[in-house]
Chains A and B, each alone.
Chain A
């Protein structure tokens, strides 16, 4: 099994060799589905956000090309465990990550680039919630794994109903729709959403100041120093202030941070105007284009992983049916474990866990991990299909083949498998259609396929949530329905009872 994995990894790695760039890239990991005001797309589809601008600023200061690398927020630091120059590798984590003791032990950490506080946000008309202590008995949404999450758990324990969501914008939407009483958020996000969404307000004084820092590899000492210097310069010459003012994020806390970082007081008063980034236009051509391209990734995942699954499934099934017990038993365990655990966990394991067991340099890219994970999962299901098919071929067929002097393997290949293949076509084609839709699970390991693209788009285009959902579902349907038709045709064509013609 390991050798099969390694050779597959190798094959995929050769395909995905990146071409060299002139300027060294500064690959920064972020989760754009976390959204405004950190990193998000404006109505014109351009990337913006204070961290986008901050990354651009760092790129300029370090003479490197900033390259955004997307991923799930709570998994960003772990990506530092993988090589930076891999296809989805990152140099730094830059996405509102707080200064945390656990992370700073494991990873390098820069000087802070922003001071946030925790703000309490509820509906503007909510009179039952006027101060923090009113939270008792309420439903509170937080971003999973954030400082706010930590704080609410610690300060309110079981006095509130905690609802954890991986997506900031979703939480604010739920509060707005009164499906949650309130949310505790970093002031950055709170300030932005209270300004953007009607009928939301902050309540009480923001609490518990903390710092946003950049995490990088422990041994990347030089890069850390360069970033620290760049941040310090940014405080001094007002570059950071300009960025923060653009998004309405400059406040006394930042002035104080400037002072502690540079010793200069008062900070430069040369303020930039807060710019409106709203460029109106019809977003549909762009969104459709993005969705269709993401659908291409969905198709690619399906057509690469399924043949692999069929091949592995056949080996598993033959081993189980015809192998000695010491081959059949472990294969049986594999099949039951894979069928009995969620695909989601398996993908996590392949992407995050597997590289830690393999020698360096064998870290899988998200795409490789996705294809491999799907193939490993579906191999178990295909194995069961084939096993049923192999057992459905009468025993006399095998005996007749053996009596002619064929070896067991030849008899399986020439006599049993061709007959079993006809039996298993319907369930196998069904599985292909199922796998086609299961590719959406790959969104959890950073692959931008159709479902993830949908999530990304609707985050920035809340007014089209329903339309986007219909278009996305429609895309799945127009792709999977022809598959179903093709499957039926194949079934008919290969039916053993069909008269005439040679196979």
Chain B
């Protein structure tokens, strides 16, 4: 489903990603663990086309990005329709209500009308436990609530995979718990996910885990094996 081959990203003389290869099959949950600065987030951003890279290849379904050259917007958009992203800092749109945030993808990326997209958007908000907060502005929501809206927002465009970039790092344990519950629910329903996390409980439940250090994958295995190392 997602195949990363020999990815190299340099910044000056610094090799942030140093020949990374990994494969994620449909329905799998893949976890990336390892110390800060190991290149985990950068790898996710490359898979989503938010960062360019010098060498190697990212293939998602039938879309392939090759390193070393700029990619036309058409290709980037095609890629991002397949892989959604959830950020550490949520990045909800502050000028929109929760439901409008969830609707923004279907309306402005997929070209659906509000009426067309709204039933499913409400369904998604209910799924992350925020049915009653549809008309709330992000500024009035807690961090955990905001992150759950962000998950609903990325689900709304029906991506085949979702990339989570340290989704609970900015949250206190109680709020992190709410978000993790939603993510476990998604995993259980067969959603393909790649998660960058420091949460070892989450890692243990993953199909596959990779430990990244200094731009390289140094250990791969089942979630339990890698997280317990």
Name the residue of chain B whose CB is nearest to the CB of A410: B108
Name the residue of chain A whose CB is nearest to the CB of B139: A497
- A contact residues around B49 at 8 Å (CB): 402
Bound complex: CA of A2 vs CA of B152, how far in Å? Answer: 47
Given contacts A396-B89, A497-B139, A406 and B95 within 8 Å (CB-CB): no
B46 to chain A, nearest CB (A): 13
In the complex, A496 has a CB within 8 A of chain B: yes
- B contact residues around A399 at 8 Å (CB): 50, 85, 87, 91
Overall SS of chain A's interface: helix
Partner of B80 from the list A402, A410, A414, A422 (CB cut-off 8 Å) is A402
In the complex, B109 has a CB within 8 A of chain A: yes
**When each residue 91-131 of chain B gets 1 if its CB lies under 8 Å from chain A and 0 otherwise, what string results?**
11111010000001100111000000000000000000000
Q: CB distance B104 to A404 under 8 Å?
A: yes
A-facing residues in B173-207 (Cβ within 8 Å): none
- A contact residues around B89 at 8 Å (CB): 396
- B contact residues around A404 at 8 Å (CB): 80, 84, 104-105, 108-109, 153-154, 157
Name the residue of chain A whose CB is nearest to the CB of B136: A500
- B contact residues around A397 at 8 Å (CB): 91, 93
In the complex, B135 has a CB within 8 A of chain A: yes
A377 to chain B, nearest CB (A): 30
Bound complex: CA of A268 vs CA of B108, how far in Å? Answer: 87
**When each residue 37-54 of chain B gets 1 if its CB lies under 8 Å from chain A and 0 otherwise, what string results?**
000000000001110000
Given contacts A396-B91, A400-B91, A405 and B81 within 8 Å (CB-CB): yes
Q: CB distance A403 to B48 under 8 Å?
A: yes
- B contact residues around A415 at 8 Å (CB): 93, 104
- A contact residues around B157 at 8 Å (CB): 404-405
In the complex, A419 has a CB within 8 A of chain B: yes
B139 to chain A, nearest CB (A): 7
Q: CB distance B50 to A414 under 8 Å?
A: no
Name the residue of chain B whose CB is nearest to the CB of A411: B108
In the complex, A230 has a CB within 8 A of chain B: no
In the complex, A287 has a CB within 8 A of chain B: no
B169 to chain A, nearest CB (A): 14
- B contact residues around A419 at 8 Å (CB): 93-95
Bound complex: CA of A388 vs CA of B211, how far in Å? Answer: 41
Bound complex: CA of A407 vs CA of B49, how far in Å? Answer: 12
In the complex, B140 has a CB within 8 A of chain A: yes
In the complex, A279 has a CB within 8 A of chain B: no
- A contact residues around B110 at 8 Å (CB): 405
- A contact residues around B81 at 8 Å (CB): 405
**When each residue 369-390 of chain A gets 1 if its CB lies under 8 Å from chain B and 0 otherwise, what string results?**
0000000000000000000000
CB < 8 Å A-B pair total: 73
B105 to chain A, nearest CB (A): 4
B226 to chain A, nearest CB (A): 27
In the complex, A360 has a CB within 8 A of chain B: no
Q: CB distance A406 to B109 under 8 Å?
A: yes
**When each residue 482-503 of chain A gets 1 if its CB lies under 8 Å from chain B and 0 otherwise, what string results?**
0000000000000011010011
Bound complex: CA of A405 vs CA of B107, how far in Å? Answer: 11
Name the residue of chain A whose CB is nearest to the CB of B153: A404
Q: CB distance B108 to A396 under 8 Å?
A: no
In the complex, A401 has a CB within 8 A of chain B: yes
B24 to chain A, nearest CB (A): 17
Given contacts A405-B109, A405-B157, A410-B109, A400 and B87 within 8 Å (CB-CB): yes
Q: CB distance A405 to B105 under 8 Å?
A: yes
Name the residue of chain B whose CB is nearest to the CB of A502: B97
In the complex, A408 has a CB within 8 A of chain B: yes
- B contact residues around A502 at 8 Å (CB): 97, 135
- B contact residues around A402 at 8 Å (CB): 49-50, 76, 80
- B contact residues around A497 at 8 Å (CB): 139
B68 to chain A, nearest CB (A): 19
- B contact residues around A283 at 8 Å (CB): none
Bound complex: CA of A411 vs CA of B92, how far in Å? Answer: 13
- A contact residues around B153 at 8 Å (CB): 404
A418 to chain B, nearest CB (A): 5
Bound complex: CA of A496 vs CA of B76, how far in Å? Answer: 31
Name the residue of chain A whose CB is nearest to the CB of B80: A405
In the complex, B218 has a CB within 8 A of chain A: no
Q: CB distance B50 to A422 under 8 Å?
A: no
Most chain A Cβ neighbours within 10 Å, of B85, B93, B150, B153: B93
B159 to chain A, nearest CB (A): 8
Q: CB distance A422 to B95 under 8 Å?
A: yes
Name the residue of chain B whose CB is nearest to the CB of A399: B50
B133 to chain A, nearest CB (A): 14
Bound complex: CA of A415 vs CA of B107, how far in Å? Answer: 12
Q: CB distance A400 to B93 under 8 Å?
A: yes
- B contact residues around A405 at 8 Å (CB): 77, 80-81, 105, 109-110, 157
In the complex, B132 has a CB within 8 A of chain A: no
In the complex, B172 has a CB within 8 A of chain A: no
- B contact residues around A410 at 8 Å (CB): 108-109
Q: CB distance A414 to B108 under 8 Å?
A: yes
- A contact residues around B80 at 8 Å (CB): 402-405
A-facing residues in B142-172 (Cβ within 8 Å): 150, 153-154, 157
Q: CB distance B93 to A403 under 8 Å?
A: no
Bound complex: CA of A408 vs CA of B50, how far in Å? Answer: 12
Q: CB distance A503 to B91 under 8 Å?
A: no
In the complex, B73 has a CB within 8 A of chain A: yes
Bound complex: CA of A79 vs CA of B105, how far in Å? Answer: 57
Q: CB distance A403 to B104 under 8 Å?
A: no
- A contact residues around B87 at 8 Å (CB): 396, 399-400
Bound complex: CA of A321 vs CA of B199, how far in Å? Answer: 38
- A contact residues around B135 at 8 Å (CB): 502
Most chain A Cβ neighbours within 10 Å, of B48, B87, B94, B135: B94
20 contacts between A and B (CB under 8 A): A397-B93, A399-B87, A400-B150, A402-B50, A403-B84, A403-B85, A404-B105, A404-B108, A404-B109, A404-B153, A404-B154, A405-B80, A405-B109, A405-B157, A406-B104, A406-B108, A408-B73, A410-B108, A496-B139, A503-B95
The 9 closest A-B pairs by CB, nearest first: A400-B91, A405-B109, A403-B85, A404-B105, A396-B91, A405-B81, A405-B80, A406-B109, A414-B108
